[in-house]
Structure 1
Amino acid sequence: MNLTRLLLSLLFLGLIIFFASAVPETCPADINGDCGDGSSDTWQGDFFPGIPKIKYEGPNSKNPLSYKWYDAEEEILGKKMKDWLRFSVAFWHTFRGTGADPFGAPTKTWPWEDGTNSVTMAKRRMRANFEFIKKLGVNRWCFHDRDIAPDGKTLKESNANLDEVVYLAKQLQEGTDIRPLWGTAQLFMHPRYMHGAATSSEVAVYAYAAAQVKKAMEVTHYLGGENYVFWGGREGYQTLLNTDMKRELDHLATFLQAAVDWKKKIGFNGTLLIEPKPQEPTKHQYDWDAATTYAFLQKYGLVGEFKLNIECNHATLSGHSCLHELETARINGLLGNIDANTGDPQIGWDTDQFLTDIGEATYIMLSVIRNGGLAPGGFNFDAKLRRESTDVEDIFLAHISGMDTLARGLRNAAKIIEDGSLAELVRKRYQSFDSEIGAQIEAGKADFETLEKKAMEWGEPSVPSAKQELAEIIFSSAI
């Protein structure tokens, strides 16, 4: 009897040990804590302890960790809010941001960081990314290849590092609807790209950039990404004195066409996007703004292959409003995605602030509604915490603020559209073109001789007021 009891006790103890070892370890993801080295595929740190899943609580809520205006399932103008907005987390700012800027050193290090850029550390960041996305209640994220996995000593080693981290991301996606909104290759930070990537004067750099884009596009496809972005800015010319501008533009167009061909070869159905990116740090470039990028695409026969990723802060740097850039892209059939951020018009560099201006958000959402939405694009928070915001909680607060701002902008835009007063004001302003001769003009059937006869017949035109102040009153009343 005693022997039987002993055997049963040992069996029971063995089962306890087995099940305990089968359950993933969970503890605060503090690098100094007792969480191991994070290299195990079953290791799961609690990166955001004490922060619950963010929920909608309405405008009267005093809880900073809640949505006041963003109610994902609420229907606005025939679509759920989550389908109008399609929010995405930018991996590089959220998990690689240090608080550094052109004039200041880093100010923050998250508790799970070990000070390395190892593959083990990259995998820990990827786990943090997925926990954050789930708690935020969104299902999209964006990445650069070198942000999620470290550069190796060779291209082959870099690709292997990327494969290892992307494989983990694929595992973390399983059983969820989380997917990349878009991926891209980082073709600017490494010294090899000091002359540009596809516009580099060195053919070896051009080839390296092509190989990097090839791989980044493949992993975006593997993860089920909806788009692929080409970032500009450094694809330009700081000076024209020692630059063959035409040759570099030709090289770039050839590069982009090769990307189109590869996309089709691997069966990637996502949209290819180009992001206008002025003054980062170049001043002569093909992608200064939406209009310049459109002209480039037209010249090289690429209009049907690309759309634009419009960033509001870049609109400021190019001397335009965000609405101007969105509408320029929209009316030319090129609006594909929006980097939801803002910048200070008095500062001549990209501050990447979270958008908090309700009026600006309303302008943006009016354009998005006119576009019928952004799918398969969306709103990517290409925005970062301020240097003085150093708590882990601040990552949530910043995204909540940005999401609520755009959600409120959507509500305001819907209110303006449903009211109809602004649309009627615009209609009345152009009602003279509803006449027979106006219709002929808009159809391209009224020549100068015909118009001269009409001008003689009508005499001096009577020009009515545009009612600009009334338009602003109508707009302001919805905010």
Structure 2
Amino acid sequence: MPHRSFFEDIDPIRFRGPDSDDPLSFRWYDADRVVAGRRMEDHLRPAACYWHSFVWPGSDMFGEGTLERPWNDPALDPMDAATDKMAAAFEFFEKLGVPFFTFHDRDIAPEGSSFKESCRNLDQMVDAAAEHMERTGVQVLWGTANLFSHRRYAAGAATNPDPEVFAYAAAQVCHALEATHRLGGDNYVLWGGREGYDTLINTDLRRELDQLARFLHLVVEHKHRIGFEGTILIEPKPSEPTKHQYDFDAATVAGFLSRHGLDEVKVNLEANHATLGGHSFHHEVAAAAALGVLGSIDANRGDAQNGWDTDQFPNSVEDLSLVMFEILRAGGLGRGGFNFDTKLRRQSTSRDDLFYGHIGALDVLARALLVGASLLESGDLEDRRQARYAGWGGPLGEDILAAALSLPDLHAMVTDRDLDPKPVSGRQELLENLVNRHIERAR
């Protein structure tokens, strides 16, 4: 069935190389280019998100929406608006050339007057999405349920003091997970936007954490019940909208998962959330890889002068090069990918601004991938890192790690040998210069 065109003046975006002056072309993102043995598209698995690009009107806490989004016209019937919005989204995905998209249940279908009606709306729009996917070849990187916008979730979803809210949230996730499965999604994400507290005065921390663990077990159990082979992901964030969220960062989530026997669950890391947690994005990715929970990426950036989640398009090759290095070093993202959880600025009001933002971000990821691959293949960082820890491969290091030496044994050894180890330079400045040289050379 033909749909109205919302981007009729935009041709499909093509790779034209680093010397291109066409702002509607890729300069670095060449989907079929082989990097470190794989196609660039297969490394990045890029996705455009439904919510910021097609749902958000450009509003903020001080002002109304500014963006030109005819599919969000309040005069439209909600399901007609959802149909137009989906047509606009898939026209954009297809012309941009991304292989994946991501969505919340309430992004693609409006909430009804009852839970049954909400489910019917979602089922209808999932059927429509399946037709668009068949026509365009665009797939689902991950789906999720919006457990934070409605007022019923003001005190959280899984961690709510009211078990009826827990039950409602569980039912909503059940339906959203099944919808994601029907669309062949590669992952399912749980973002606990309100799973935390505003004040400890009225909060039972232990109870809420136990509730959250039970909720996650229910999701994992249902994943296996319906035969969903995708990965369940948690998206860490330290705060905002709550004062403190229980999924603070990758390390916190990894500890929580291990404690509650949820080892198959991984993390979907967002750059701007790392910033809010006081970490670099490089740190969050390296920590997740080291702890065995690295799953997928939300690619964006924050603003150092703002204390909130600004969700801007990534624009720094330097910031992302070491992120790419760590991902490649860990063996890649598997079923994960790079989702552009990104907003246009409120003054970027035109529909075609969506293309400029995503084109620039994809080019940044592509060039950072080239740098990360160059760093890994050269061994410039890895060889020096291994040399720094070489002593742990010797007899003393091996005996310590094998628990062959007790504390008194080590005391006696240091005394007998009169050990006086001298510090060895970490060569930080040298290594930073090496990284910069790889950035300069990346082509």
Partner of 2:194: 234
Deviation per CA, 1:400-430, whole angstroms, max 9, x where unpaired? 1111101100001111122222222222322
What is the Cα deviation at residue 458 of structure 1? Answer: 4.6
Say if 1:157 and 1:462 are closer, same or farther in 2 by CA, change over 3 A: same
Match 1:290 to one of 250, 265, 276: 250
Letter in 2 for 1:264: H
What is the Cα deviation at residue 235 of structure 1? Answer: 0.6
1-structure distance, mates of 2:3, 2:16: 29
**What does 1:256-267 align with in structure 2 at a 5 Å threshold?**
256-267=216-227
- The answer (yes or no) to whether the contact 2:249–2:274 under 8 Å persists in 1 is yes
Match 1:98 to one of 42, 51, 57: 57
Match 2:214 to one of 254, 257, 264: 254
**What does 1:11-90 align with in structure 2 at a 5 Å threshold?**
42-90=1-49
- Structure 1 residue 302 corresponds to structure 2 residue 282: no
1-structure distance, mates of 2:16, 2:432: 31
- Structure 1 residue 244 corresponds to structure 2 residue 204: yes
Partner of 2:123: 163
Match 1:423 to one of 358, 367, 382: 382
Partner of 1:346: 305
Letter in 1 for 2:274: A
Partner of 1:10: none
Give the secondary-structure state (helix, strand or coil) at the position aligned to 1:51: coil
Say if 1:96 and 1:117 are closer, same or farther in 2 by CA, change over 3 A: farther
Give the secondary-structure state (helix, strand or coil) at the position aligned to 1:273: strand
What is the Cα deviation at residue 253 of structure 1? Answer: 1.2
What is the Cα deviation at residue 48 of structure 1? Answer: 0.8
What is the Cα deviation at residue 112 of structure 1? Answer: 4.2
User: Which segments of 5 or more consecutive residues in structure 2 lack a partner in the other structure?
Assistant: none
Say if 1:112 and 1:285 are closer, same or farther in 2 by CA, change over 3 A: closer
What is the Cα deviation at residue 101 of structure 1? Answer: 2.1
What is the Cα deviation at residue 342 of structure 1? Answer: 0.8
Partner of 2:373: 414
- The answer (yes or no) to whether the contact 1:233–1:276 under 8 Å persists in 2 is no
Partner of 1:432: 391
1-structure distance, mates of 2:205, 2:135: 49
**What does 1:321-336 align with in structure 2 at a 5 Å threshold?**
321-336=280-295
| TM-score, L = length of structure 1 | 0.88
Deviation per CA, 1:25-66, whole angstroms, max 9, x where unpaired? xxxxxxxxxxxxxxxxx2311211121111111111101111
Match 1:179 to one of 130, 139, 147: 139
Say if 1:112 and 1:198 are closer, same or farther in 2 by CA, change over 3 A: closer
Give the secondary-structure state (helix, strand or coil) at the position aligned to 1:310: strand
- Structure 1 residue 452 corresponds to structure 2 residue 411: yes
What is the Cα deviation at residue 175 of structure 1? Answer: 4.4
**What does 1:113-124 align with in structure 2 at a 5 Å threshold?**
113-115=72-74, 116=76, 118-124=78-84
CA root-mean-square deviation: 1.4
Partner of 2:66: 107
- Structure 1 residue 222 corresponds to structure 2 residue 222: no
Greater RCO between the two (CA within 8 Å, min separation 6)?
2
Partner of 2:353: 394
Moved more, 94-103 or 177-186: 94-103
Give the secondary-structure state (helix, strand or coil) at the position aligned to 2:25: coil
- If you compute each CA radius of gyration, which structure gives the higher value, 1 or 2? 1
Match 1:312 to one of 268, 271, 290: 271
2-structure distance, mates of 1:154, 1:199: 23
- Structure 1 residue 441 corresponds to structure 2 residue 394: no
Moved more, 441-450 or 357-366: 441-450
| TM-score, L = length of structure 2 | 0.95
Moved over 4 A (4+): none
- Structure 1 residue 356 corresponds to structure 2 residue 310: no
- The answer (yes or no) to whether the contact 1:311–1:338 under 8 Å persists in 2 is yes
Partner of 1:16: none
Moved more, 311-320 or 419-428: 419-428
1-structure distance, mates of 2:361, 2:380: 28
User: Which segments of 5 or more consecutive residues in structure 1 lack a partner in the other structure?
Assistant: 1-41
- The answer (yes or no) to whether the contact 2:105–2:146 under 8 Å persists in 1 is yes
